[in-house]
Amino acid sequence: MSVQVRIPTPLLSLTGGKKEVSAEGATLKEVIEDLERQFPGMKERLCDEEGNLRRFINFFVNDEDVRFLEGENTPLKEGDIVSIVPAIAGGS
Amino acid sequence: MTYVKGLKCRECGRTYPKAPQFVCEWCFGPLEVVYDYEKIKKNFTKKALENRAPNMWRYRELLPIDGDPVCGHTSGFTPLVEAKNLAEVLRIKKCYIKDDSVNHPTLSFKDRVVAVALSKAKEFGFKTVACASTGNLANSVAAHSRYSGFDCYVFVPYDLETSKILSSLIYGVNLVAVEGNYDEVNRLCAEIAMNFPWAFVNVNIRPYYAEGSKTYGFEIAEQLGFRAPKNIVIPAASGSLVTKIYKGLIEFYQLGLISEFKTKFFIAQAEGCAPIVNAFKENSNIIKPVKPKTIAKSIAIGNPADGVYALEIVKKTGGYAEAVTDEEIIEGIKLLAETEGIFTETAGGVTVAVAKKLIEKGIIPREEEVVISITGNGLKTQEAVQNHLKPVIRIKPSLEDFKNHIKGGV
């Protein structure tokens, strides 16, 4: 299962400046593991000490917040787009 | 003259130099402005304030700009109204309205944050300003951008109130209506901000922008005669206003401008978008996002950026978080208008209705005082109330016809 992952600015140093990368995995969790294999150091940036997704990062699968889906267990299919977006934006 | 040391991550404590940067590069936590309070103490005193003009820049030392402000010279210092009629109806000892429905120039508290954001954007050398908005912020960025000479793009959900759209377009700026809700607009803007060299006031300028809200709290304390209120009810969208009023009062306390700070913080949300209230009631520290469905569009943020911090403040000050229905919101708007002659927007209806509910429940004691935060103007959300008002009395231009409708006279 190959998906496209959009990388936010703070993580570009890990991907060598690439804003979009391909990753393998049947769930978001597996994709994060694959990102770690490709870009060592990625996982500790995306997950806290307990391995949970960091609370100030929002993950989207095809424009839907994974907290409305199944969180890190959200299933992925070929060609899905995963966006990693800093949560701390916005006012009104 | 600068009093800013730099930026610091609220989550992991990493520090950064002043830059248009809004998240910690390590953990994505929000960045906060750090001040040199020792230096501030020397220049910022009650005495110094006496001779300063009544606008938000009277608190200049506690705002994160290095040079002179480029706008907002007439923003802030809005009335703190002692609402005697409303207090009587609510059967509470004292009630104050902090009335930003008349903030200059765009009739909402957003003129405070935007004045700081655009002044800072100028210092950073940006030519274009932008924002994700539910309306009020777009109006304010649009207006201030003209005054201070920026190109301007504002992004809003496509289904906003007509008046909020028009009140941005009138300034001749670029308005982008996104087919989605605010959270989707916001996310899009976070991505655009990474691809365009623009100052998004509530994205990459956010640490500075948000500081402007402190002035709302400073003013309440100053207008009460340099003391903090006993209870304050604040509407929550992103939760930022709650955290900044709190920070403002703490700063006043630490600088010795107020001698006591025991304010209880109460959060008001609409039932159709109450992620912070939900977490409070479930006694959870995690804010679960929601899909908003409420007439209070200006505070319809389902994924509140500062939700966790706002929630912490409510808990540690002994406050409470409560939500009200759309019907209660309309009643709240009408109650404030009919008692105090103040026409607020839907968010203000939320705050008034929540204050009423908390007083009735005994959570805000009747023998205490309460400050109700009114942050926007009713002229911008007329659709919300138009079918809930008395009918117009239409008559022919004759005394006879008038008497057919109105009894009395001689």
ipTM: 0.85
Which residues on chain A are in Cβ contact (under 8 Å) with B12? none
Whole-number pLDDT of residue A90: 57
How many Å lie between the alpha carbon of B157 and the closest alpha carbon of chain A? 11
Whole-number pLDDT of residue A92: 55
The tokens 């000050």 sit on which residue? B317
The tokens 């050398």 sit on which residue? B125
Q: What domains appear along chain A, each with residue ranges and CATH number?
A: 2-86 (3.10.20.30)
How far is B256 from B360, CA to CA, in rounded Å? 35
Residues B298 and B365 both lie in one domain: yes
Whole-number pLDDT of residue B190: 87
The stretches of B22-172 forming alpha helices (DSSP H) are 37-43, 46-50, 84-90, 110-124, 136-148, 162-169
The stretches of B282-325 forming alpha helices (DSSP H) are 307-316
Residues B123 and B200 both lie in one domain: yes
Whole-number pLDDT of residue A87: 80
State the pTM of this model.
0.95
> Under 8 Å CB-to-CB from B128, ≥6 apart: which residues?
B150, B151, B152, B153, B196, B197, B198, B199
| Res A28 pLDDT > 60 | yes
Nearest to B28 among A65, A87, A92 (CB): A87
Buried b (16+ CB within 10 A) or exposed e, B374-395: bbbbbebbeebbeeeeeeeeee
Residue A6 to residue B206, Cβ atoms within 8 A? no
Does a structural domain hold residue B410? no
Whole-number pLDDT of residue B357: 98
How far is B48 from B307, CA to CA, in rounded Å? 35
Give me the CATH number covering residue B354.
3.40.50.1100
Whole-number pLDDT of residue A34: 97
Residues B321 and B377 both lie in one domain: yes
Contact B116, B208 (CB under 8 A): yes
Q: Which residue has the higher pLDDT, A85 or B241?
A: B241
Mean pLDDT, 10 residues at a time, chain B of 410 residues: 94 95 90 96 94 97 98 98 98 98 98 98 98 96 98 95 94 97 90 92 95 98 98 97 98 98 98 98 93 94 94 98 98 98 98 98 98 97 95 96 88
- The pLDDT tens digits of the residues spanning B318-329 come to 999 999 999 999
Task: Identify the contact set of chain A against chain B, taking CB-CB distances under 8 A.
Answer: 6, 8-10, 19, 45, 48, 54-58, 60, 63, 65, 67-68, 83, 85-92
Residue B187 to residue A85, Cβ atoms within 8 A? yes
Q: Amino acid identity of B148?
A: S
Nearest to A87 among B133, B182, B305 (CB): B305
Nearest to A56 among B28, B132, B206 (CB): B28
Give residue B123's domain range: 4-72+110-209
Q: Which of B176, B209, B242 is the last residue of a domain?
A: B209
Whole-number pLDDT of residue B187: 87
Residues B249 and B336 both lie in one domain: yes
Whole-number pLDDT of residue A1: 81
Whole-number pLDDT of residue B110: 98
Number of domains in chain B: 2
Whole-number pLDDT of residue B259: 98
Residues B288 and B218 both lie in one domain: yes
C-alpha distances out from residue B27 to A71, A88, B210, B331, Å: 19, 11, 20, 43
Of A88, A67, A91, A7, which Cα lies nearest the Cα of B235?
Answer: A91
Which residues on chain B are in Cβ contact (under 8 Å) with A88? 22-23, 28-30, 206, 305-306
Q: What residues does B231 pair with on adjacent strands?
A: B264
Nearest to A85 among B137, B191, B202 (CB): B191
How many Å lie between the alpha carbon of A67 and the closest alpha carbon of chain B? 7
